[in-house]
Amino acid sequence: MRADVVVVGAGPAGLAAAVRLAEGGRQVRLVARGQGFTHWGAGAVDVLGRVGGERVERPLDAIDRLGDGHPYRLVGPDAVRDGLDWFRDFAAAAGLDQVGDPERNRGQVTALGTLRPTCLVPAPAGGELRGRVAVLGFAGFRGFSAALCARGLGQAGYEATAGSVELPPWSHRLYFTAVELARAFDDGDFRARLAPALAKAAAGAEVAVVPAVLGLTGGHEPWADLERGAGLPLVEAALAPPSVPGLRLFAAWRRRLDELRVAWQLGFPAIGVDREGDRVIAVRCEGASRPVVIHCDEVVLATGGVAGHGIEANRDGSLTEVVAGLPVAGFADRTDFVAGRFLAAHPIGEAGVRVDGELRPTGDDGAPVLGNLRCVGGLLAGHDPTMEGSREGVALATTARVALTLSMTDQTDKAGPRR
């Protein structure tokens, strides 16, 4: 098997890398252990929500306050803008309009009634909360509590009321998840029957907050349709995983990969590489029935950190990068954080691979250890995607840098052999 570029990983970074490189004319193959963070997040694009635990208003201005090895310091704010602009266009073309401004954080309402700091949110989560806010849950759906959300919003200073809306009869009455409920919202009849009850429950409110389950396969259209039917703005609150907005986005990524004829396989973990000098010449994968070797010119590693299985944390405190055995920076001793607080940063969140300005992995001396492998997204050392709220921003910015670097490599290749 052969490809120009093998992308390993199907989270926001791997998907964006595969699409961008394919758009740039590369023949790309994407392999991944499984689904990535699209399914586990809030469905938004977080750029930089906090620095040192403090909330940040203008994320790009705060990059200077980050440590030297932080991915944003390596790629710079323009790569962040490039990444977000590109993503916004991609999402809009897929019918998933994004709302927000890369220069300024906004609050995305959550099921706890908090307003999480983020930059871009899908349009159904983008409405402004003002005046009286009706928080409405759906009877029998345990993924969202209107009472809890309204209490949180009340503490944040909003005038919020909690209410419940009975669902029209549908197939999953005894036990259903957010995903099954979202599928029900794809059905226009279901929405038409629900809309009057929603309007009634929201009577007197200027805006309604509802769980983020308003449709799965129809992009944002089910939300827009229900909003028209209910006669007031509806704002989707972020829920615990699995993320329905993330699933909508994942579907869009898949469609785009297919359009670009990118071969992609999930359940197909990369387990090693073949090297020739300082270059990777092939990626070894664990296929369903036998190992598969994919020969390639370039590799983009987007396997995520410890959370994404890109790095294995061992009992002895050591960390192993699972595909290429790259050096990992992180905690060395489990005794370091015995006194930690759950909601504060933990060293393992920052564990990752150190890279140079071209995102090539480096050794202790700072020199790249591999010339044609680049790391993007959560795998990178020096940032804590969850605690600082930077996951999608880092994914898109580092992907933008790789796209730029490889497009320049293209030109170099045309000018003459580089190796």
Partner 1 sequence: MTSLDTRVVVVGGGVTGVAVLRDLALRGVDAVLVERSDLGTGTSGRWHGLLHSGGRYAVRDEESARECIEENFVLRRIAPHTIEDLGGLFVLLPQDDPAYAEKFVVGCKAAGIPVEELTPAEARRREPLLVDGFEAAFAVPDGGIDSWALMRSMVADARARGARVLPRHPVVGFERDGDRLAAVRVRDLAGGEDVVIGCEWVVNAAGAWAGQVGALAEVPIHMIPGKGVMVVMASRHVRGVVNACRKPADGDIVVPQHEVAILGTTSVQVEDPDDVTVDPADVDRMIDMCAQMVPSLTHGRALRAFAGSRPLYKPPQQEGGSPPVNEDTQDTRAVSRTFTVLDHAERDGVANMFSIVGGKLTTCRQMAEALVDRLGARMGLTVPCTTAEVPLPGAEHGVHTLAAPLATVERDRAYGTLICECELVTAAQVREAVADGVVELEDLRRRLRLGYGPCQAAFCGWRAAAAVCERQLDAPEGRDAAPRPTKDTSPAADLSTGLARFLQERWRGQLTTIWGDQARQALLNHAIYRGIFDLAAEEPDEAAAWRTRGLGTRSDGPVEDPKSESLERAAGQREDPASKVGRELIGDVEGRAPSAGAESG
Using CB under 8 A, list all residues that contact partner 1. 40-42, 46, 49, 53, 110-112, 114-117, 134, 139-140, 142, 145, 147-148, 150-152, 154-155, 159-164, 166-167, 173-176, 201, 238-241, 305-307, 309, 312-315, 317, 334-335, 337-344, 346, 348-349, 385-387, 389, 391
Q: 3-class DSSP state for residue 94?
A: coil
Asked whether 117 and 56 are in contact (CB, 8 A), the reply is yes
The CA–CA distances, whole Å, from 364 to 44, 326, 352 equal 35, 11, 14
**Nearest distance in Å: CB 68, partner 1:** 24
**Cα angle: 412, vertex 415, 419; to 5 degrees:** 60
Beta strands, E only, 306-395 = 311-313, 319-321, 373-375
- DSSP per position, 367-389: SBS-SSEEE-GGGBTT--HHHHT
Per DSSP, the chain holds a count of helices (H) and strands (E) of 10, 19
**Nearest distance in Å: CB 53, partner 1:** 6
**Nearest distance in Å: CB 106, partner 1:** 13
**Nearest distance in Å: CB 315, partner 1:** 5
**Cα angle: 389, vertex 390, 396; to 5 degrees:** 150
**Nearest distance in Å: CB 160, partner 1:** 6
Query: Cβ closer to partner 1: 150 or 323?
Result: 150
Asked whether 80 and 88 are in contact (CB, 8 A), the reply is no
Query: Cβ closer to partner 1: 165 or 370?
Result: 165
**Nearest distance in Å: CB 171, partner 1:** 12
Q: 3-class DSSP state for residue 133?
A: strand
Q: 3-class DSSP state for residue 10?
A: coil
Q: Which two tokens stand for residue 274?
A: 């073949």
Query: Cβ closer to partner 1: 37 or 86?
Result: 37
Q: Please name which of 216, 212, 213, 210 lies closest in space to residue 233, comparing C-alpha atoms.
A: 210
Query: Cβ closer to partner 1: 172 or 295?
Result: 172
Maximum distance among all Cα pairs of the chain, rounded to whole angstroms: 70
**Nearest distance in Å: CB 209, partner 1:** 12
Asked whether 293 and 335 are in contact (CB, 8 A), the reply is no
Element (H, E) at 178: helix 178-185
- Phi, then psi, of 233 in degrees rounded to 5: -65, 135
Query: Cβ closer to partner 1: 200 or 295?
Result: 200
**Nearest distance in Å: CB 85, partner 1:** 24
Query: Cβ closer to partner 1: 386 or 405?
Result: 386
Query: Cβ closer to partner 1: 288 or 342?
Result: 342
Query: Cβ closer to partner 1: 111 or 323?
Result: 111
Asked whether 178 and 213 are in contact (CB, 8 A), the reply is yes
**Nearest distance in Å: CB 249, partner 1:** 15
Query: Cβ closer to partner 1: 139 or 415?
Result: 139
How many other C-beta atoms lie within 10 A of the C-beta of residue 37? Answer: 26
Distance CA(363)–CA(354), nearest Å, equals 8
